[in-house]
Structure 1
Amino acid sequence: MIPARYEASRFPGKLLQDLNGKTVIRRTYEAAKETDLFDEVYVVTDSDKIEEEVTGFGGKTIRSKKEHDCGSDRLAEAVENLDVDVVVNVQGDEPFIDRDSLAKLLLVFREDETKVVDLASLKVALAQSDEITNPNNVKVITDKDNFAMYFSRFPIPYPRDNEAPMTYFKHIGIYAFRKQALLDFHNLPMLPLEATEKIEAIRFLEYGKKIKMVETSMQTIGIDTPEDLEKARQLMDS
Structure 2
Amino acid sequence: MKICAFIPARYAATRFPAKLMQMLGDKTVIRHTYDNTVATGLFDEVFVVTDSEIIFNEIVSNNGRAVMSKRTHESGSDRIAEAIVDLDVDIVVNVQGDEPFVKRGPLEKLLRVFTDDAENKIQVASLMQVMTEQKFIEDANYVKVAVDKHMNSLLFSRSVIPFPRSKDAATVYYEHIGVYAFRKQALLNFTSWEMTPLEKAEKIECLRYLENGVPLKMVVTEYMGVEIDTREDLERAAKLL
Structure 1 and Structure 2 fold alike (TM over 0.5)? yes
Matching residue of 2:163: 158
Matching residue of 2:3: none
The 1-side partners of 2:163 and 2:53 are apart by 46
Which aligned segments of 4 or more residues in structure 1 are displaced greater than 6 angstroms?
Answer: none
* Percent identity of equivalent pairs: 52
The change in CA–CA distance for 1:132 and 1:79 in structure 2 (over 3 A counts) is: same
TM-score normalised by structure 1 residue count: 0.93
Matching residue of 1:27: 32
1:156 alignment partner AA: I
Matching residue of 2:118: 113
Equivalent position to 1:57, from 55, 62, 86:
62
Stretches of structure 1 lacking an aligned partner (at least 5 in a row): none
RMSD: 1.6
The 2-side partners of 1:67 and 1:165 are apart by 44
Q: How many residues align?
A: 236
Matching residue of 1:98: 103
Equivalent position to 1:138, from 135, 143, 150:
143
Worse-matched range after superposition: 102-111 or 127-136: 127-136
> What SS class does the counterpart of residue 42 from structure 1 fall into?
strand
The change in CA–CA distance for 1:165 and 1:22 in structure 2 (over 3 A counts) is: closer
Matching residue of 2:85: 80
The 1-side partners of 2:205 and 2:33 are apart by 22
1:50: Cα distance to partner? Answer: 1.4
The 2-side partners of 1:12 and 1:133 are apart by 24
Q: Deviations over 1:50-96 (max 9, x none)?
A: 11121111111111111111111111111111111111111112211
The change in CA–CA distance for 1:39 and 1:209 in structure 2 (over 3 A counts) is: same
> What SS class does the counterpart of residue 141 from structure 1 fall into?
strand
The change in CA–CA distance for 1:10 and 1:156 in structure 2 (over 3 A counts) is: closer
8 Å contact kept, 2:102–2:224:
no
1:46: Cα distance to partner? Answer: 1.2
1:49 alignment partner AA: I
1:179: Cα distance to partner? Answer: 0.9
8 Å contact kept, 2:37–2:103:
no
1:111 alignment partner AA: D
> What SS class does the counterpart of residue 3 from structure 1 fall into?
strand
2:24 alignment partner AA: L
Counterparts of residues 208-227 of structure 1 (less than 5 Å): 208-227=213-232
